[in-house]
Amino acid sequence: MKAVVIGDALVKSETLTDAVGQMNLGKLTEIKKIEWYSDLTKDQFQEHILQIERYGPEKVEIPQGILEALQDADYLFAHYAPISASMIKSAPKLKMIGTCRGGVENVNLSAVRERRLPFLHVIRNAEPVADFTLGLMFAETRNIARAHLAIKSGQWRKNFSNDPYKTTLANMTVGIIGAGYIGRLVIKRLNALGVKVMVYDPYVDPAIFERDQLKVELRSIEEVFKNADIVSLHMRVTEETKNLISKDLIQLMRPGAYIINTARADILVKDDLVAALQNRKIAGAALDVSWIEPIPEGDPLLSLDNLTMTTHIAGDTVDAIPRAPYLLKDVVNAYLEKGYSDMLIR
């Protein structure tokens, strides 16, 4: 049997090959290494990351030599490289696909499902993103970043636009939109802090919350936006979720409510969020993701005094990416042993 691995500038093919060698795939006669912009620096590679996140696997260049390599491949493992319809079509023997990242924008899921292939992925930075999400909740609701900026600018600022609503997190209700792996880690942290949690996710089996011992109230998306003090977004961008959060939902929010987004910018309609913040329809927002990165000069986001922004760093810890291939190894081996996985997408 043959496995094909695709390395890139962040996850080298040698590391991925080592992890695949520890998978219980049976007797592998060959692990073929393919490269996708592996010679770039992390900063140079960022442009290709943004392209594939925005346009998907069919609109970017596929790895050189991949179609030939896949002709007799049984397994395909990658990180950020595109997994396109043409790649899947060229691999008639393929038994499984795996990627060592949480997002699936680089994979043509329709082509995967048409072939009924098991597709496994890992949330390599789930813990860092969950931690960062709570950090943004504190930073925005308690004006931590704004107070810091004021001090650095020579001001000793004590008053902020959300003064009428300031309270502790324990007094708030947090609404989670999307209760996948990261969403559930955020819920776990909120439960530990005694925070009431509402959840909207039509795709998650409610039994999972009981299995993971999570205390939540399941609500419609309208109920979450109407009743939560903080709405935190944890969805992938799909045809169903793109621009899902628009003025129709934002107008349901309380004046003292906040939006937190550590997922993807395209979940939100930018103009509707900006208008709500400019008009003080909601108290504030915190974003780790933006519609254009870096944010260009003159962008209306930069003039908002009730918005906290970070530079897409929620999952950026020293150990997240190096561990990713080995997390995938664990997920694959558990799936092969048990026949199911939370990280399986069909």
Would you list the domain boundaries of the chain? 2-125+317-345, 126-309
Cα separation, 80 vs 89, in Å, equals 19
Closest Cα to residue 286, out of 263, 256, 262? Answer: 262
Q: Which residue has the tokens 């990713």?
A: 324
Q: Are 110 and 116 in contact (CB under 8 A)?
A: no
4 DSSP β-pair partners: 32, 76
Active-site residue, selected from the candidate residues 79, 312, 337, 346: 312
Q: Is the pTM of this model over 0.85?
A: no
Give yes or no: 222 in active site: no
Active-site residue, selected from the candidate residues 240, 293, 323, 337: 293
User: Domain 126-309 has what CATH class?
Assistant: alpha beta
121 DSSP β-pair partners: 99
Q: What is the mean pLDDT of the chain?
A: 95
More confident position, 275 or 54 = 275
Q: Are 52 and 105 in contact (CB under 8 A)?
A: yes
Strands (E), the chain: 2-7, 30-35, 75-78, 96-99, 119-121, 173-177, 196-200, 217-218, 230-233, 258-261, 284-287, 307-309, 344-345
pLDDT band at 123 (very low <50, low <70, confident <90, very high): confident
pLDDT of 286 over the 80 cut: yes
Average pLDDT of the residues in 135-153: 98
Give 184-213 pLDDT, tens digit per residue: 999 999 999 999 999 999 999 999 999 999
**CATH 3.40.50.720 is held by the domain 2-125+317-345:** yes
Shared fold status for 2-125+317-345 and 126-309: yes
Give yes or no: 312 in active site: yes
Give 66-78 pLDDT, tens digit per residue: 999 999 999 999 9
Give 4-49 pLDDT, tens digit per residue: 999 999 999 999 999 999 999 999 999 999 999 999 998 899 899 9
- pLDDT score at 237: 87
Active-site residue, selected from the candidate residues 121, 184, 234, 264: 264
Give yes or no: 293 in active site: yes
